[in-house]
Structure 1
């Protein structure tokens, strides 16, 4: 067993986790604002057709690796897996910066995504291990660190990408990761003293492969369906059949494997079962809100992509405010259920407010809705992970934690597909030409008609997202009001507590 970490080492460990989460979130969003200069440099003739792969490669690889990351944490220990994820991310970043072609860049972006998936998920396991026994047994504290950093990253990513692309070489989008990542790597090797695993356990690589195949094909369906290819096209239908087959095979494998990557027994725990479901719904609603707020600002209000990203700052402020107040609220008696119910209701109200947008709505209304959304999502992102971690068996902490992220990502992909289809269908029924891509070429009354139809379409999308979030609120009411700490955590807390005073003898 490694020696116990000092308070200073724990502080350094928490700082490392914040830095890695920020890196992961930034790199999820940063490339989208710099695609034009990238294509112009690497492949000005055919590069535009490869942009979807450039953007999707990171997310596909990160999602596919999630189940395996969780199992590796449980088998090898979180420190070793964390170091491996950071190293993979840095190698991918360096190769992205040196890319000489679009194919090279896409492949390097996928390698970077493999590491990025670990930065976001394994870091949550490390955060849990950094807590003292009393904090684990007590719960309710520090659950919103990830939410604060995620909010800042989502707001800063598009702006930072656009700024670097405009005022420096686009390669610095990737090179900027290296000094921060190398510092994190060196400090993690030196400072982190997390529990090591001494018992040899098998790793279900076939199950991990099936999970990767299922999630990758599902993400491709949601990326292509209704946009690049019709839902009834042979390619999409074939992918849907293959996705369903991979899911059936994956579930069957998890039911029979000795060491499954996502144990079905986790779903027997009510907190975990509802935590996964709520996180999936939150992922869907968040994707709908983030993507279509940005589209509304750019298409309807004519705001540039990098500037539109700055309108997400109120959302980041809302998340940060929740993070700063969460410990006080927990001390005042707020349970994890209270946080989740309040968060889903707040987010539902924000989405309903966004559903009232028009072509001339005050931008302060948009900012107010995003602030409220940040308050809602800030309560959810940290608390749902902590809820699952608090109730997961100690030897399945890794798979339970990455499971939360896995369901959030899949929910976001399905939400993007659902909302994209809704937007296209509603606009086709009301807009001129029937295609949203042609709005920029219209002028005069036709353009105004197109903008009115587009706003109507986005309003329907936000109402659909409101319904998704209200369903999450209903599920949140099914959570137990109070939880019993895991026996392992209680025992650990008792073993480190000072002995009671000896009785006085008369």
Structure 2
């Protein structure tokens, strides 16, 4: 590939990451208008599935995407994932009922599960070892900025009454990525034949779906001790055991257990999962605090996340520049986890009348921590494995973060409810609107942020154990066989 072709291909990858991150966050701002438009009488009953259908499909498909990259080459899988995502987006924009929209969101999620993970594989294969850290770091920065921009853009579209454009906006960006991938992108082809462990893929998809439903339903739709939640938990645990057995005996497993013997991955995987937990605590519950306690509109609450975006951008650029001058990657991860923990710790002191400047400073610090973490663990993991395991390694890291986010949603939701009911007057309930005991509700929100700070403190301790693999030379990096 020429230098221009490589730049175009990297740009297409960055655009795809924007699609992946925006779509995970932008829909949350439009749920109420969607229900009013499609099914005002019964739409609220189906509303949880609008989010869950995408998350289930995306997470269940994630491990399979890595193996498909190692078998068929990342370029072909990239084109297929973007194509399925765009088809689902177009159909979502035309949906006339809640049932149709939920089904189309599931289709969109099947493609969306590959957007981030496969794109990081493509970036790794487009880059020489010396370029990979900078490009991977830029991808992480864009991912973080997209995470913050999603609620803001969604709020603006909702306020203008154009919720269908939440899905249509994906089409021009995705078509650009497809055009580049189909015309100028050339990537390494696998040097040997592989087989797909279909049984292993089915087991991990079923296990992930069961555990995600436990996370989504437990303590919300059903009590934790209810038969549906307990049954799903037992079934999901059994499926995890069967999946691990299958990976131990399969000739070419979907998720090789040898990855967990790698000293870098053994630490990077749990840190990435904890990062997913903490991000859920910050972004989701900051929006809850602003809208429920302070009465801020959805678009107004999105603007409060601008300091997070600023922190991500500035600290990420600074970290990349320092690494270029010899600053160790492990040092970046340590500073990032500590700074994110500090930001969440400051948020734990919020109250009904917390000054705006205090919120902005705490959110900026959290963003500054994220900016030093996003993309770094994926890059370290890619550097620690042989080329033929690049796909499964990347998707394993993303899979850990996805499950971490789901776990964070479940645990923090339970913490919020339990602390609120414990501190509110006897007989108080959450209600369907504003809480009847706002001081107790704010105290519960603060406890959620404190738990998030504790999660990042654990990530800091794990980062002390992180082993950074030696840098590879260009000859050791990847097979350079055009697709």
TM bucket (normalised to shorter chain) is over 0.9
Structure 2 residue 389 is matched with structure 1 residue 396: yes
Distance 2:84 2:172 in 1: 15
1:456 to 443, 450, 453: 443
Distance 1:353 1:235 in 2: 38
8 Å CA contact 1:201, 1:259 repeated in 2: yes
Corresponding residue for 1:212? 205
Corresponding residue for 1:435? 429
User: Following TM superposition, by how much is the alpha carbon of 1:325 offset from its aligned partner in structure 2, in angstroms?
Assistant: 2.0
Judged with a 3 Å threshold, the aligned counterparts in structure 2 of structure 1 residues 459 and 168 are, in CA distance, closer, same or farther, namely: closer
State how 1:38-437 maps to structure 2 within 5 Å.
38-135=34-131, 140-432=133-425, 433-437=427-431
Q: CA RMSD in A?
A: 1.7
Distance 1:145 1:372 in 2: 19
Distance 1:79 1:158 in 2: 30
User: Following TM superposition, by how much is the alpha carbon of 1:485 offset from its aligned partner in structure 2, in angstroms?
Assistant: 2.8
User: Following TM superposition, by how much is the alpha carbon of 1:322 offset from its aligned partner in structure 2, in angstroms?
Assistant: 2.5
1:26 to 10, 22, 25: 22
Question: How far does the alpha carbon of each residue in 1:423-443 deviate from its partner, in whole angstroms, 9 at most, with x for none?
Answer: 111111112443223552x7x
User: Following TM superposition, by how much is the alpha carbon of 1:113 offset from its aligned partner in structure 2, in angstroms?
Assistant: 0.8
User: Following TM superposition, by how much is the alpha carbon of 1:197 offset from its aligned partner in structure 2, in angstroms?
Assistant: 2.1
8 Å CA contact 1:63, 1:409 repeated in 2: yes
8 Å CA contact 1:389, 1:397 repeated in 2: yes
Judged with a 3 Å threshold, the aligned counterparts in structure 2 of structure 1 residues 184 and 240 are, in CA distance, closer, same or farther, namely: same
Q: Any idea what SS the aligned residue of 1:185 has?
A: helix
User: Following TM superposition, by how much is the alpha carbon of 1:459 offset from its aligned partner in structure 2, in angstroms?
Assistant: 1.3
Judged with a 3 Å threshold, the aligned counterparts in structure 2 of structure 1 residues 6 and 236 are, in CA distance, closer, same or farther, namely: same
Range that drifts further, 456-465 or 323-332: 323-332
8 Å CA contact 2:333, 2:372 repeated in 1: yes
Q: Any idea what SS the aligned residue of 2:431 has?
A: helix
8 Å CA contact 1:17, 1:127 repeated in 2: yes
Unaligned runs of 5+ in 2: none
Structure 2 residue 474 is matched with structure 1 residue 474: no
Q: Any idea what SS the aligned residue of 1:9 has?
A: helix
Greater C-alpha Rg? 1
Distance 2:118 2:477 in 1: 22
User: Following TM superposition, by how much is the alpha carbon of 1:147 offset from its aligned partner in structure 2, in angstroms?
Assistant: 2.5
Question: How far does the alpha carbon of each residue in 1:17-48 deviate from its partner, in whole angstroms, 9 at most, with x for none?
Answer: 11111111111111111122211221111111
2:7 to 4, 11, 21: 11
Structure 2 residue 469 is matched with structure 1 residue 483: yes
8 Å CA contact 1:439, 1:451 repeated in 2: no
Judged with a 3 Å threshold, the aligned counterparts in structure 2 of structure 1 residues 360 and 70 are, in CA distance, closer, same or farther, namely: same
Unaligned runs of 5+ in 1: 496-506
User: Following TM superposition, by how much is the alpha carbon of 1:272 offset from its aligned partner in structure 2, in angstroms?
Assistant: 0.8
Distance 1:310 1:196 in 2: 44
Aligned residues: 479
Distance 1:185 1:148 in 2: 22
8 Å CA contact 1:152, 1:313 repeated in 2: no
Distance 2:250 2:329 in 1: 33
User: Following TM superposition, by how much is the alpha carbon of 1:168 offset from its aligned partner in structure 2, in angstroms?
Assistant: 4.4
Distance 2:391 2:299 in 1: 36
Corresponding residue for 1:36? 32
User: Following TM superposition, by how much is the alpha carbon of 1:134 offset from its aligned partner in structure 2, in angstroms?
Assistant: 4.2
Q: Any idea what SS the aligned residue of 1:141 has?
A: helix
User: Following TM superposition, by how much is the alpha carbon of 1:338 offset from its aligned partner in structure 2, in angstroms?
Assistant: 0.8
Distance 2:314 2:431 in 1: 38
User: Following TM superposition, by how much is the alpha carbon of 1:165 offset from its aligned partner in structure 2, in angstroms?
Assistant: 2.8
Distance 1:273 1:114 in 2: 28
Distance 1:144 1:311 in 2: 24
User: Following TM superposition, by how much is the alpha carbon of 1:169 offset from its aligned partner in structure 2, in angstroms?
Assistant: 3.2
Distance 2:477 2:377 in 1: 23
8 Å CA contact 1:301, 1:359 repeated in 2: yes
User: Following TM superposition, by how much is the alpha carbon of 1:154 offset from its aligned partner in structure 2, in angstroms?
Assistant: 1.9
Q: Any idea what SS the aligned residue of 1:483 has?
A: coil
Distance 1:133 1:161 in 2: 37
User: Following TM superposition, by how much is the alpha carbon of 1:256 offset from its aligned partner in structure 2, in angstroms?
Assistant: 0.7
Distance 1:377 1:190 in 2: 35
